[in-house]
Amino acid sequence: MAINGNNTSQCTHLDAQNLVKSSQNTLTLSIESYADPRSPNDQRSPDAVAPPKGAVPVPKPTTFKITATIPSKPWQPSSTKSPTSGADDSLPPPPPPTVTVPVSKPTSENGPELYCEGCKQQIRGPYLTAQGKNWHPDEFVCASPNCGRPLQNVGFIEEKGQRYCSDCYEKYFAHSCAKCHKKIVGEVMHALNQTWHVTCFVCTSCNQPFRDGVFHLEHDKPYCVADYNKQFGTLCKGCGFAIEAGDHFVEAIKSQWHESCFTCAVCHIDLKNAGFYSVNNKPVCSNHKNARLPA
């Protein structure tokens, strides 16, 4: 037998142990096995004995090569008995299998102690964090006395500092929509002293929501600014766009004009503070009062 190429026939048990311990990352054992034709009681040297006539020659020894990976951290080897030599050769046991152990968090070793907002007890296992507070999963439930539904996977709606599942919130707190009369859970629109779903409070003309929150009423019906101006607003004779609330305008030639639009149709000089002439219902300055303009 050889350890890492070192013959152990003259080694003591302690010498063999030291050879194993001195191995780096790889341990190589060579074991030679053969059949001995001699009598067990024959103590003569094998070299001095010739095989008897007709005897089967000694077969060539078979070499078994064992490669073992030594773990990087030292561990205590155990003794195993060699079946071929009868000596106590020291062989290290295989390293233990890797076991993943779930770590309960938090612990006093990896952070400060945490306490559940519900039961006020220390948290030693899995926990949830919501609204800046920590909870045991089975304590994070709907606040309705008749419910108690876990909220971990369904979400919650806060009302007066308490957390409710969507069903309980809709039942006890949600407003009704003035149009569809269904409960409103989520974004709500307050208008005309009533509450609405955002998708229900829409322009009477284009049916689009008032995302900017601005609308005009006409005959008690809401309109977006664009549609109100188109249908009910005053349009500027010059540019064709609406004259909105707060805009300065000029009334002339039986029409309304933005101040900036009331200019000479020929040279575009400002006419709001000057005299003007009308040619085919278009304002012109005194220099172009005889101009020929299309109707």
**Residue range 14-24: average pLDDT?**
68
pLDDT of amino acid 116: 92
Cis before 106? omega within 30: yes
**Residue range 59-83: average pLDDT?**
29
Q: Which has the closest alpha carbon to 215: 233, 231, 199, 203?
A: 203
7-16, 196-205, 267-276, range with the lowest pLDDT = 7-16
pLDDT of amino acid 64: 31
Q: Report how far apart, in Å, the C-alpha atoms of 192 and of each of 139, 178, 201, 216, 230 are.
A: 41, 10, 10, 11, 23
Q: Report how far apart, in Å, the C-alpha atoms of 215 and of each of 140, 242, 244 are.
A: 42, 15, 13
Q: How many Å apart are CA 251 and CA 272, to the nearest integer?
A: 10
Instruction: Answer whether residue 7 shows pLDDT above 90.
Output: no
Q: Which has the closest alpha carbon to 178: 204, 201, 199?
A: 201
Q: Report how far apart, in Å, the C-alpha atoms of 224 and of each of 48, 177, 214, 215, 236 are.
A: 119, 20, 7, 5, 19
N residues, the chain: 295
Cβ distance 217 to 225 under 8 Å? Answer: no
β-pair partners for 130:
133
- Domains of the chain with bracketed CATH: 2-35+60-91 (no CATH), 128-172 (2.10.110.10), 188-231 (2.10.110.10), 236-288 (2.10.110.10)
**Residue range 90-107: average pLDDT?**
34
**Residue range 125-134: average pLDDT?**
88
- Work out the mean pLDDT of the chain and round it to a whole number: 72
Residue tagged 């195993």 (tokens)? 80
pLDDT of amino acid 261: 93
Instruction: Answer whether residue 34 shows pLDDT above 50.
Output: no
β-pair partners for 29:
3, 66
pLDDT of amino acid 86: 36
pLDDT of amino acid 101: 23
Q: How many Å apart are CA 143 and CA 168, to the nearest integer?
A: 9
Instruction: Answer whether residue 284 shows pLDDT above 90.
Output: yes
For the entire predicted model, the pTM comes to 0.41
64-68, 83-87, 126-130, 138-142, range with the lowest pLDDT = 64-68
